[in-house]
Amino acid sequence: MRLVDYSSIIKKAWAEFDGSIQIDTIEDISAKVSTNHVFRVTFEDGERIIAKLSYFGTYEQFLEDHRIIHALANNLLYPFENVLAKSLVRDGQVYTYRHKDGFIDAWVVFYNPIRIQLKLPRRLEDHHIRLLGREVARFHKASSRVSPVLPKSSKTLRSDIWDLLDLLETEVGQFEHRMHVDELKRQCELFLENRQKLVAKSVETMPVFVDWNIGNFSVTDNLELYSRWDYDWFRISYRVMDFYFFSRVVSNAGDRTVFSYVIGPLMEDRFLLFLKEYHRVFPLTETEIRFLPEAYRFFILNYVIKYGRYFFHRTYAIKLQQEAYDIYFPSIATFDADKILKALGI
């Protein structure tokens, strides 16, 4: 995809949407940490929109994701009604453009720019953690209320793990993971077994923003959620999947430029402080707490093992994948769910 002319594709996508308004400039504002490319499009009259271009996965999944996000953005109630950017629509549906030309298969969606306030401090103090814990709980509550009106999602935790198991049966998968195929199959089966035992049919799914990048959302002075413009990592899942990310947001290490998948932040006292505040607003269950190490296992299997080569430079992806076998998977056994349950009074 290195030879793809992104600007040309965006211009074609916009011309199909509204050829009466001419584009003046297209500026790449991508975060450079995902497979999506984000652009600020300025028109000749000075008006602006945001364009996102992607070629990861399938067009059908891209379309499904954005229909769900659009429904969520338009159904969240106060005070979260303006948190998400609104996609541009045509004939009552989110407008998407598919560009196919030889080996190129890329897709574009447009949305209105969203206002941004404050970024979180690089390292949160205890009072920040308490405020954030309560705010995330309120947002999850609002998302839960909206769930019944959202389009169904075909992407689940099970389907992602099944996809990895299918990959491990192919020549490509067996070559790429040739030293660890049996171990990966074992980890996948452990996840599927524990998911079935702990949360299947007993814990609701809702819109969650798996792996929020700190730079992708802004807050008010009181750490109230103000906006999130980037659509990356959205899915319908269990709310505890968001805790994996927020454990890192509140970690004692603070914001880091070098990402790590170690399990430590899920067991820090600072994350326990976050959970206590969250629990007061939107109570957690014992099974959800006991599922936290499985949420961690899922992140390793899906985003380090299966997709790592897409998200990171090859050398770094290989490093993380080796750490998965040496550090990440073995560390799951160290998670102390009883400590958290006792602290929350569950």
Ramachandran quadrant class, 294 (left: phi over 0; alpha: psi -120 to 50; beta: rest): alpha
Neighbouring C-beta atoms of residue 71, cutoff 10 Å: 16
The residue to which tokens 């959800």 are assigned: 288
Ramachandran quadrant class, 227 (left: phi over 0; alpha: psi -120 to 50; beta: rest): beta
Long-range residue pairs from 158-167, CB within 8 A, at least 24 positions apart, any chain: 158/192, 158/195, 160/298, 160/301, 160/302, 160/306, 161/188, 161/191, 161/192, 161/298, 161/301, 161/302, 163/306, 164/188, 164/301, 164/302, 164/305, 164/306, 167/306
Q: What is the model's pTM?
A: 0.91
pLDDT at 19 (0 to 100): 87
**Residue 74 in tokens:** 């338009």
pLDDT at 257 over 60: no
pLDDT at 186 over 80: yes
The string of DSSP letters for 234-249 reads EEEE-THHHHHHHHHH
pLDDT tens-digit map of 294-343: 999 999 999 899 988 777 778 888 888 999 999 999 999 999 999 999 99
